[in-house]
Structure 1
Amino acid sequence: MNVLPLDDPRLTAIGLLAEVYAGLSARFQPVFAGAGLSEIDFETLIRLGRSPRQSLRMSDLAAQTGLSTSGVTRVVDRLERDDLVARIACATDRRASYATLTDKGRERLFSVLPGHLADIEDNLTGLLGDEELATFLTTLRKIRDVVRPCATAGADLEARADAEGVRL
């Protein structure tokens, strides 16, 4: 009879990661909800806010968030209705458009950040020393680059926008 390796450290690693993610998501939710944002709304706004020109091609935004093209369209539609995001057509490719953070979107994002950063400090980064945090970030990037290689799609936006003749 084969014995299952229930004490395998790989199971422990993925279990701990899932527990940490679930716990952090639960801790972050009240701050997002207080600003009228869902977790994916916040992720969309923060990705736009941290991108060159605070804008991403819709396909790159989908790749970064892990949403399907139709999923990111629905999120951007909702954020656009609330005037948090605007769509800008690509001048050289009628099939492409960019999602761009509006002034109101930037204000909403900045209103959420103090509480969100406090939650991150209290529940994650503040628990680690400087060296531990540096190692942790390096390790996360290493894993992310394998499991979500598109997570930085569009990082070269300015060069692409210039080449495509887009005014962002």
Structure 2
Amino acid sequence: MNDTEPSAVPWLSADEQRAWRAFVRVHLKLSARMAADLQSHSGLSSADFEVLVAVTDVSEGRVRFQDLAKDLDWEQSRLSHQIRRMIKRDLVAREECEEDGRGAYVAISEHGRAVIEAAAPRHVRVVRRLVLDGLTAEEFAELGRLSAKLSDQIDRVETA
């Protein structure tokens, strides 16, 4: 019997199920609220914001395409489609990589930098109101530790 057979999988206990469902609810609620706020106040999707944050996190304002896909944990095709949409809106540009003719950079445009700089202060205020204001400093630090631990677990474990 392998772990994909229903009889081999132990069901969640009532406490585990309550905690799991609460975690899923908060993730979905937070994602939806953050996305709606970004869209209504800055015209950015969550995906736009993720890309712009990642590109502005580097001093050069540009990132190799494959490094960006890895940083965001996105498939190459998803990133390609997203970047194409963002280029049309002048948020980023595609720059060829002179060192490697097959490689390319995603670079933030002047317009993209202005948009993210305008969106970021409100985004931080919303994060504070929705999350930080509801937790003590110790709880927020624990949330960070637990999130990092879960992220590492997800990276290590195959689900197939």
TM-score (norm 2): 0.80
> Would you say how many aligned residue pairs link Structure 1 and Structure 2?
147
2:30 is matched with: 24
Shift of 1:49: 1.6
1:53 aligns to what SS in structure 2? coil
Following the alignment from structure 1 to structure 2, what is the Cα–Cα distance between the partners of residues 143 and 116?
Answer: 24
Supply the AA of the counterpart residue of 1:105. G
Q: Which residue of 2 aligns with 1:15?
A: 21
Equivalent AA in structure 2 for residue 25 of structure 1: S
CA displacement at 1:39 relative to structure 2: 1.3
Render the CA deviation track for 1:137-162: whole Å, top value 9, x for unaligned.
Answer: 1221222233248xxxxxxxxxxxxx
Name stretches of at least 5 consecutive residues in structure 2 with no aligned partner.
1-6
SS of the residue 1:95 aligns to:
coil
Give the TM-score normalised by the residue count of structure 1.
0.77
Q: What does 1:38-49 correspond to in 2, within 5 Å? A: 38-49=45-56
Secondary structure of the structure 2 residue equivalent to 1:93: coil
Q: 1:85 Cα shift?
A: 0.7
Q: Which amino acid aligns with 2:74?
A: L
Q: Secondary structure at the match of 1:19?
A: helix
Deviations 1:57-88 (A, max 9, x none): 11122222232111101111111111111122
Q: What is the identity percentage for the equivalent residue pairs of Structure 1 and Structure 2?
A: 27
CA distance in 2, matches of 1:12, 1:61: 36
- 1:15 offset after TM fit, Å? 2.2
Structure 1 runs not aligned, ≥5 long: 150-168
Q: Which has the higher contact order (CA 8 A, sep 6+)?
A: 1
